[in-house]
Amino acid sequence: MPEHVLDQMEDLPENNIDDIEDLISADDIKPRDRYKNKKSVSVRPKKRNHAAGSDTNVETPELLEKTIYESVIPGTQKVYVKTWGCAHNNSDSEYMAGQLAAYGYNLTNTKEEADLWLLNSCTVKNPSEDTFRNEIQSGMSNGKHVVVAGCVPQGAPKSNYLRGLSVIGVQQIDRVVEVVEETLKGHSVRLLQNKKEQGKRVAGARLALPKVRKNPLIEIIPINTGCLNQCTYCKTKHARGDLVSYPPQEIVERAIQAFTEGCCEIWLTSEDTGAYGRDIGTSLPELLWQLVAVIPEHCMLRVGMTNPPYILEHLEEIAKVLNHPRVYAFLHVPVQSGSDSVLGEMKREYCRSDFEHVVDFLRSQVPGLTIATDIICGFPTETEEDFEETMVMCAKYRFPSLFINQFFPRPGTPAAKMQRIPANLVKKRTKRLTDLFNSYSPYEGRKGEQYTVLVTEISHDKQHYVGHNKSYEQVLLPMRDNLLGTAVRVRITDTSKFSMSAEIIDEESDWTRCAIKQEQNGHISNGKVNSSLECDKEDVISKYAGFGLVMLFVALIFQLLMKFM
């Protein structure tokens, strides 16, 4: 891979994009910071007045005044985009960044040099919202224009800390350019309404919009928005609403477009992929078979999170799809609890036996299948007996990926009104489950085994490339030139709790790339991927530069005419 592509990918702090299930991140607020934004708590640092021999309170610095632009000329302002939460949120941010770049705005990863901060929020957990709130305050205090987006303002638009800010609703991301432009002029714009066509609600903005990907090798496609259930602890439903699916043809066309632009991996995402199509007379398996038909050789598809109730009737077809050589044998099915009593209080619409049937059937039909799941510890009605059932279930299946979360009461949800379990008891249960998870190693005994892996990412420590085998297991590889974006044969040399390390068996001449890219001029140069964050942005900007100049000229003529009328 060219050096400039490597540099761009290494500079991306969110290169390792989390899916809807991956709710714990480095961006989560730390306990010591959690109350910084509470009005009842003041922090008044003091400095010693040596002359008087007494302490003097330091005055709180005034907010820096932000620049108000009478007119906005594309290409003269910089925008910083920050995202919290799931893959769906990350896809929304990529679309918004793509439109801003197409219009001529300069995107920057350095928030200090930006004129405007676009903050895309997650409402799943209290710490995520706290971090979002703190980032808003940081931007305002540093004289930045701030635009907020995502599930937090959509689900609770009247929150005090959002007062006076410009807001982009989850279905209005295709209007980000006008919101940013008006905000830079000092105006406040709030677009929170649902998107409709011919009086009928649609899933959201068109999938064919321009996009600036955080990882140029991975395309995230939202296939539907909202869900059918109403879990008592979940606030996301308040923001995303009821299920609305994108038409299959629109999703397939977006996948084809992504492959032609240099992607070699597709992630399907939504609040519940298993429910896809129930509102438009189709189903997830039908969509998956259409996508499999257009996936080029050496490229892969990953299916997003699905809740148990909506996959039970499709188990046989799902198993067939997951066995396809160009689909990862991976599925994330969050169970949340091993107790039927707790599942009932959560309104999860399935019982433990339903979940176990999904796991048992798919494991029996799909060799090497990886099943990931979620557990919420300390739901208000959870007894010791309920928690023991969860422990027994997790010990039985020894999930290689187990996302353990403490219960967070989200305002406006039924669970927030329930009497909470003492915090120390919740922590104790969380630790017990975490200890169980850490007691086994899913990759033990794999040393010497050989796999074909698709290399698409850079590790968190930036010391390795990351590839995934058919089971979507993480394999760390040495950072060799031209390796990103290839499928290679490897031999496992070491294992750890969360990954395996490997050596490359193939010679570089045997490394394979996405078949469609080999046919695309401009996407392959001397056998190297010519795709990166900056390349994508430059391609989009050059495509629309002429249009931007024409619009600028028209605006100037209009202003002159108005001046002399």
What tokens does 281 get?
């007379």
pLDDT in tens, 244-297: 999 999 999 999 999 999 999 999 999 999 999 999 999 999 999 999 999 999
pLDDT of residue 338 exceeding 80, the answer is yes
Per-residue pLDDT tens for 230-246?
Answer: 899 999 888 899 999 99
CATH top class, domain 78-193: alpha beta
507: Cα within 13 Å, side-chain hemisphere: 1
Which secondary structure element, helix H or strand E, spans residue 121, and what is its range?
strand 116-121
Question: Confidence band (pLDDT; 50, 70, 90) for 65?
Answer: confident
Residue 145 confidence (pLDDT) above 50: yes
Q: Is the pLDDT of residue 69 over 60?
A: yes
What pLDDT shows up at residue 63?
A: 63
pLDDT confidence of residue 67: 81
Of all residues in the chain, what percent carry a pLDDT higher than 70? 80
Q: What is the pLDDT of residue 248?
A: 98
Whether 26 has a pLDDT exceeding 80, the answer reads no
| Confidence class for position 64, pLDDT limits 50, 70, 90 | confident
Whether residue 284 contacts residue 318, with contact meaning beta carbons closer than 8 Å, is answered with yes
Average per-residue pLDDT for the chain? 84
Where b means 16+ CB within 10 Å and e means fewer, 476-509 reads bbeeeeebbbbbbebebeebeeebbbbebeeeee
Which has the higher per-residue pLDDT, 563 or 142? 142
Task: Return the domain boundaries, the chain.
Answer: 78-193, 215-439, 449-513
Q: Given this model, what pLDDT does residue 516 score?
A: 66
Q: Domain 215-439: give its CATH code.
A: 3.80.30.20
> What percentage of the chain exceeds 90 in pLDDT?
73
What's the rounded mean pLDDT across residues 534-543? 37
Check residue 487 and give its pLDDT: 97
Q: Which residues pair with 372 in a beta bridge?
A: 332, 401
Can you give the pLDDT at residue 62?
Answer: 56
According to DSSP, the residues that pair with 108 across neighbouring strands are 80
Region 188-207: mean pLDDT is 91
The residues with which 167 forms a beta bridge, in sequence order, are 148, 190
Q: Which of 210, 318, 221 shows the shortest CA–CA distance to 266?
A: 221
For residues 187-205, average pLDDT: 91
Distance between start and end Cα atoms, the chain: 57
Give the separation between CA 221 and CA 265, rounded to whole angstroms.
11
Res 6 pLDDT > 50: no
Confidence (pLDDT) at 529: 33
**Domain 449-513 of CATH type 2.40.50.140:** yes
Which pLDDT belongs to residue 437?
A: 98
> According to the model, what pLDDT value does residue 73 have?
79
pLDDT at residue number 458: 96
Select from 318, 240, 241, 244 the least CA-distant residue to 280: 244
pLDDT over 80 (residue 472): yes
pLDDT category at 495 given cuts 50, 70, 90 is: very high
Is pTM beyond 0.85? Reply is: no
CA pair distance 12, 530, nearest whole angstrom: 17
Q: Which of 11-15, 131-135, 202-206, 474-478 has the lowest mean pLDDT?
A: 11-15
**DSSP assignment letter at 375:** E
Q: What's the CA gap between 537 and 528, in Å, rounded?
A: 19
The dihedral of CA 397, 400, 403, 406: what is its sign? positive
Distances (CA, A) of 203 to 39, 222, 251, 414, 490: 38, 9, 12, 26, 41
Query: Does the pLDDT value for residue 537 go beyond 70?
Result: no
Among 138, 150, 87, 73, smallest CA distance to 111 is for: 138
Rounded CA separation 184/467 (Å): 42
Contact between 495 and 441 under an 8 Å Cβ cutoff? The reply is yes
* Mean pLDDT in residue range 472-486: 97
Say whether pLDDT at 57 is over 50: no
